[in-house]
Amino acid sequence: MEKQHSLIFLTGFSGSGKSSIGPLLANSLGYNFIDIDSAIEEQEGKTITRIFAEEGERAFRKLEQAMIATIAERKEMVASLGGGALEHTPTFELISTTGTLVYLKSDPKNLAKRLFHKTDRPLLRSSGTEKPDREALERNIYAILEKRSPRYESAAITVYTDQKRIGSTVEELTRKIERFVRKQSSIEQNDQHKDRP
């Protein structure tokens, strides 16, 4: 499967802005947009929370991988990933070999603030309680981030989303992605010239 540098996979913790930034970024780049979680919900006819509750995380990760595989050879597309997509090794490998990973990085304190009133993030619910307090939520975020960080940090492009307007983040991402895609295309063209007899 050929790597498409203009297939942009947006990753980051829940609350980092993937779903709100994704469509605006796609529009700015002139690309198509897909939110992987929303596409799965539409396909399955139920929410992610319900899929987790009824079928478990393992079943959800298989659905997620299959959905990502359907767009793996597309060009000029922004795909917003679920926060834990990279934890599933086959999905991480598929993303790494088919497109460009972009990490929206955010501080755990800010994430906790944004996520405190959300009830649709299954992995953030503390066992035994429907809604953790702010400090417990923050500890939970730190623990999950520590586990996910190596794969988040493997992204080709990282942008900090804290203390920035969405418009500024989209502008920064657009510049970085366009530069990156141009550079990679140029490297590939040079390599093809070298390979010719």
Domain boundaries, the chain: 7-179
Neighbours of 44 (CB within 10 A): 14
pLDDT score recorded for residue 128: 47
Separation CA 1–CA 99 (nearest Å): 10
pLDDT score recorded for residue 103: 97
Spatial contact of 159 and 102, defined as CB atoms under 8 Å apart? yes
Report the topology of domain 7-179. Answer: Rossmann fold (3.40.50)
pLDDT score recorded for residue 138: 86
pLDDT score recorded for residue 131: 58
Q: Which residues pair with 103 in a beta bridge?
A: 11, 158
pLDDT score recorded for residue 192: 64
Q: What residues contact residue 122 under an 8 Å CB cut-off, 6+ apart?
A: 48, 49, 52, 53, 57
Answering whether pTM is above 0.75, one says yes
Q: What residues contact residue 8 under an 8 Å CB cut-off, 6+ apart?
A: 25, 29, 31, 77, 78, 79, 99, 100, 102, 177
Q: 145-165 as b/e, with b when 16 or more CB fall inside 10 Å?
A: beebeebbeebbbbbebeeee
3-state DSSP call for residue 113?
helix
Neighbours of 108 (CB within 10 A): 19
Separation CA 139–CA 135 (nearest Å): 6
- pLDDT tens, position by position, for the chain (197 residues)? 678 999 999 999 988 889 899 999 999 999 999 999 999 999 999 999 899 999 999 999 999 999 999 999 899 999 999 888 999 999 999 999 999 999 999 998 888 888 876 665 555 554 444 555 778 888 888 999 999 999 999 999 999 998 889 999 999 999 999 999 999 988 877 766 565 55
What does DSSP say about strands 157-160 and 32-35: parallel, antiparallel, or unpaired? unpaired
pLDDT score recorded for residue 3: 84
pLDDT score recorded for residue 127: 47
